Chain A
Amino acid sequence: MALRELKVCLLGDTGVGKSSIVWRFVEDSFDPNINPTIGASFMTKTVQYQNELHKFLIWDTAGQERFRALAPMYYRGSAAAIIVYDITKEETFSTLKNWVRELRQHGPPSIVVAIAGNKCDLTDVREVMERDAKDYADSIHAIFVETSAKNAININELFIEISRRIPSTDANPASGGKGFKLRRQPSEPKRSCC
């Protein structure tokens, strides 16, 4: 079965639950006291989609989104971006458009965009109407789901939908160069004169 490595980057304001969504997906756990994002570089999970294995490499922001300091390398080469807002905070939906603009500016042209309205278990303090968010997502051809990392609602569905929307390999001819990862040298490099 073919394995495809897919980089996914997370976007959205501090505190909307980006890391919690990924923890639920990768580790199937939820920590309500999770700190603003510290200590996570990326998380990986492989799922089967039709005849392929999709290995998601999900990059967390490391908190650099707080003061709008995400680096271009964060977006580079991403197959998909998940932009998260908090349904209980209207302002996080308002700034969503800024994140979409940022993504259009720095992300790859054919990136799959998913919008996740998190904390949908808190409907009694909802500030963002589902219909409004879905209309916006449709207007930019983005995937839309409301999620609850806490109650494990729509998390797997979100990633299944991303798998569905990722263009097949053939549609993406390799543009630009491919490099390699540095590895530690086994000690005692062989001598050589030049």
Chain B
Amino acid sequence: MDEEYDVIVLGTGLTECILSGIMSVNGKKVLHMDRNPYYGGESSSITPLEELYKRFQILEGPPESMGRGRDWNVDLIPKFLMANGQLVKMLLYTEVTRYLDFKVVEGSFVYKGGKIYKVPSTETEALASNLMGMFEKRRFRKFLVFVANFDENDPKTFEGVDPQNTSMRDVYRKFDLGQDVIDFTGHALALYRTDDYLDQPCLETINRIKLYSESLARYGKSPYLYPLYGLGELPQGFARLSAIYGGTYMLNKPVDDIIMENGKVVGVKSEGEVARCKQLICDPSYIPDRVQKAGQVIRIICILSHPIKNTNDANSCQIIIPQNQVNRKSDIYVCMISYAHNVAAQGKYIAIASTTVETAEPEKEVEPALELLEPIDQKFVAISDLYEPIDDGSESQVFCSCSYDATTHFETTCNDIKDIYKRMAGSAFDFENMKRKQNDVFGEADQ
């Protein structure tokens, strides 16, 4: 330390590591610090299992039936990657894919009337599905063809719909879709957590349905990917990118103070030393007085010794419980992964139930999800505040990320990254900015 940097980054969450990588690749001198001894912050995968018990203050520690502690890598936030989503694009442009291996999530299910139904991944499955009646299926198919053909730059594809003005409710009405189909479309395909989108212009919803179907087409089975060894591999991969382009990494580094002069950040003090910088990126935990609370999320990590019932023994899956099935405002999600992903000991499964908190009794709110998972060997309950920055950084040059929300994908996280980039760099984010500028693999040509 006691040096000058262009950018100092505090916290090694996924958002911070991606931004660190982008800044380093673009020639900025970056110092990246975390008070924890591990990468990932709130988006880490906790290992060994003993650490998870400690973190959740379960004093007796894991029983022997849990196997070797080091075989566990338990995600703190339950998310998957959309196969055609922005995070996959970021991985490909930066070639951070080089350090990671993925599996396709084996299925997506939706809860209806107390039971779960597979979200069809093929035409055959769609025809056989009990999620909707036969005549509804034909109208739904017409709707999906419309969505697939829709091109916001080609009015000929609009069929009388105005992408900027027609509400999604009116689009559904145009195709004469019933309430069951509307619920399925909005929550299991467009992945909205509430029904607020119905009265918004339809373009966003159409694009989200497109993203789902394009992601599904990529690998089949489901639109989701998951990295072996857990989501914590993602921040590690982007941190490695930053380091290769000169970023300096320090873990176990407490931050004593962020030094401001005339309302602008000039440096960071740690263990008595000061590193100076022009700009600062951090997660909300480093600047509690400059963020505001924006809700809460509950996440219950459950360890199971069995696949979830009625999932055809899937070793990974998502379950969506649409909000109106359980008289709530927001959907409840379950993300399940297992030993097949090198995140649990042999024969063990990790299912995480999560939702936006709406009442003073959040654990009661997720009970419909927990009932699907029984018997549960062990539960870890986390209720987390969501934070967002108070200021946009234009004067302070402090750029704070938003907390990870209750969605089960990373699209909102990537939007946050693009927005921070734009405010820092003064120009719109372009995936081309993420490309490696020079060769950094040597030896034989193929890689």
Contact = CB atoms under 8 A, between A and B. Distances in A.
Given A39-B438, A178-B101, A182-B102, A190 B251 contact: no
Contact of B243 (A62, A176, A177, A178): A62
Contacts, number: 142
A181 interface: yes
Interface residues of B, number: 61
Contact of A45 (B141, B225, B233, B444): B444
Interface in A55-75: 55, 61-64, 66-69, 71-74
Interface in B94-133: 97-103, 119-121, 123, 126
Given A41-B98, A182-B92, A62 B244 contact: yes
A41 B126 CA distance: 45
Nearest to A109: B70
Contact of B144 (A73, A180, A194): A194
Given A38-B245, A45-B443, A76-B229, A189 B217 contact: yes
Interface string B225-264: 1011100110011011001111011111100000000000
Contacts of A27: 442-443
Given A40-B244, A176-B339, A179-B102, A69 B229 contact: no
A102 to B, nearest CB: 12
B251 A69 contact: yes
B119 A177 contact: no
Q: How large is the interface on A (under 10, 10 to 19, 20 to 34, 35 or more residues)?
A: 35 or more
B243 A63 contact: yes
B444 A46 contact: yes
B341 A191 contact: no
B82 to A, nearest CB: 12
A5 to B, nearest CB: 11
B47 A72 contact: yes
A189 B218 contact: yes
Question: Which of A39, A73, A74, A76: most chain B CB closer than 10 A?
Answer: A73
Nearest to B437: A39
Contacts of B441: 41-44
Given A73-B237, A194-B144, A44 B218 contact: no
Contacts of B438: 39
Nearest to A27: B442
Nearest to B447: A44
Given A39-B440, A43-B443, A176-B339, A192 B244 contact: no
A191 B147 CA distance: 10
Given A40-B442, A45-B444, A194 B120 contact: yes
A41 B443 contact: no
Nearest to A62: B243
B372 interface: no
Contact of B236 (A66, A71, A176): A71
A69 B250 contact: yes
Nearest to A176: B342
B342 A62 contact: no
B122 to A, nearest CB: 8
Interface string A13-54: 000000000000011000000000011111111100000000
A179 B248 contact: no
A194 B447 CA distance: 35
Interface of B: 38-39, 47, 84, 88, 91-92, 97-103, 119-121, 123, 126, 141, 144-145, 148, 189, 212-214, 216-218, 225, 227-229, 232-233, 236-237, 239-240, 243-246, 248-253, 339-342, 438, 440-444, 447
17 contacts: A38-B244, A42-B441, A43-B441, A44-B441, A44-B442, A46-B444, A62-B243, A64-B243, A66-B248, A67-B250, A72-B236, A73-B229, A73-B233, A177-B341, A179-B100, A179-B103, A189-B214
Closest 9 pairs (CB-CB, A-B): A179-B101, A69-B249, A44-B443, A62-B243, A71-B236, A193-B144, A192-B217, A176-B342, A67-B250
Interface of A: 26-27, 38-46, 55, 61-64, 66-69, 71-74, 76, 176-185, 189-194
